[in-house]
Amino acid sequence: MVVDDLRAGRADFVGDAPLVRADVGDRSAMDRAFGDYGPFDGVLHFAASLSVSESVAKPLDYYANNVAGSASLIGAALEHGARAFVLSSTAAVYGTPERLPITERSRIAPINPYGRSKSMVERILADVQSSHGLRYAALRYFNASGADPAGGIGECHDPEWHLIPLALEAAAGLRPKLKLFGSDYPTPDGTCIRDYIHVSDLAQAHVLAIESLLSGGPGGVYNLGTGRGHSNREVLSAVERVVGLPVPAEPAPRRPGDPAELVADATRFRNDFGWQPRFDLDAIVDTAWRWLSAWKGL
């Protein structure tokens, strides 16, 4: 059963699962959904606001949606007998890392409301597990990217926040220019470095995590990334290789709340689950391009 208020999601992406159109922070709606469709063994929680820059401009919205909404959903899951809870968390909980790559033992020091909101929900889950026994895993994504390799689902945010689809749209002439936020970071080419991980690799990790929790296996916090960072300019080069067209870009000021470099050490998840990311940057861009081409009829 899928719960989505469709403020950012699409009903046609749900597939054959029942769809309950509601805010996960609406406790009465969640009680009805759990009662009508349950009982459920576990919950996978993806519903959150996700833009760093927007969180800096609208912090109260992020704490209300990400923290209060999550607490309400966790309460409903507990009340209705769920035994496992998997949180879509983020590398933003680490803030500006002291060393790279980032391990789960790295200091938690978010530098924006988005990262702080996710860190708070992780703490709530740890406390609820200690007090009530609801087992949890918090999967700290690095840069989720790409699209369904079969072409059925891809990114279609409005507005779009993410670099790869923005660069693809610019190359295809769907937007005039890409804004390259920050060219003076302490990195080899002056642009931000991020660890891009394909959504299919993330999806597999979620299945492994909830199956583990339900069978009494490992849980807790995990990084999910490839262990390799790519600068914004390297991403633009990958887009140009895949599409065969230049990406028109113009420099823009740094966005508030953006650290220079985030790269994952996902050794713990790999060791616990035998998981291995399958998609490199060019393959990620290729799936995103095939999705955009189909969606826009290019």
Judged by DSSP in three states, 276 sits in coil
Query: Which has the closest alpha carbon to 254: 196, 189, 183, 200?
Result: 183
Considering only 17-31, 54-68, 149-163, which range has the smallest mean pLDDT?
A: 149-163
Q: What is the pLDDT of residue 159?
A: 83
Beta strands in 175-271 (DSSP E): 178-181, 193-194, 196-198, 220-224, 230-231, 249-252, 261-262
The average confidence (pLDDT) of the chain is 96
Give the domain CATH number at 190: 3.40.50.720
Can you tell me the distance from the alpha carbon of 41 to that of 64, in angstroms, rounded to the nearest whole number?
Answer: 26
Can you tell me the distance from the alpha carbon of 24 to that of 33, in angstroms, rounded to the nearest whole number?
Answer: 10
Angle between helix 163-171 and 232-243 (nearest 10): 40
Q: Look at residue 256 and tell me whether its pLDDT is greater than 90.
A: no
Query: Which has the closest alpha carbon to 200: 192, 208, 191?
Result: 208
Q: In sequence order, which residues have a C-beta less than 8 Å from that of residue 103 and are 6 or more positions away?
A: 223, 265, 267, 268
Q: What is the pLDDT of residue 43?
A: 98
Judged by DSSP in three states, 39 sits in coil
Distances (CA, A) of 96 to 151, 190, 194, 263: 35, 16, 12, 11
pLDDT tens digits, one per residue of 130-168: 999 999 999 999 999 999 998 889 998 888 889 999 999
Q: Look at residue 23 and tell me whether its pLDDT is greater than 90.
A: yes
Tokens of 218: 């490992």
pLDDT category, 1, cuts 50, 70, 90? very high
Q: What is the mean pLDDT of residues 70-80?
A: 98
pLDDT tens digits, one per residue of 189-210: 999 999 999 999 999 999 999 9
Q: What is the pLDDT of residue 157?
A: 83
Q: Is 222 known to be catalytic?
A: no
The number of domains in the chain is: 1
Can you tell me the distance from the alpha carbon of 62 to that of 65, in angstroms, rounded to the nearest whole number?
Answer: 5
Q: What is the pLDDT of residue 151?
A: 83
pLDDT category, 68, cuts 50, 70, 90? very high
Q: What is the pLDDT of residue 106?
A: 97
pLDDT category, 298, cuts 50, 70, 90? confident
Q: Look at residue 255 and tell me whether its pLDDT is greater than 90.
A: no
Q: In sequence order, which residues have a C-beta less than 8 Å from that of residue 39 and are 6 or more positions away?
A: 80, 81, 82
Can you tell me the distance from the alpha carbon of 194 to that of 214, in angstroms, rounded to the nearest whole number?
Answer: 32
Can you tell me the distance from the alpha carbon of 287 to that of 165, in angstroms, rounded to the nearest whole number?
Answer: 11
Q: Look at residue 267 and tell me whether its pLDDT is greater than 90.
A: yes
pLDDT tens digits, one per residue of 268-288: 999 999 999 999 999 999 999
pLDDT tens digits, one per residue of 81-99: 999 999 999 999 999 999 9
Selected catalytic residue, list 114, 185, 196, 222: 114
Query: Which residues constitute the domain of residue 115?
Result: 2-296
Considering only 89-98, 149-158, 175-184, 244-253, which range has the smallest mean pLDDT?
A: 149-158
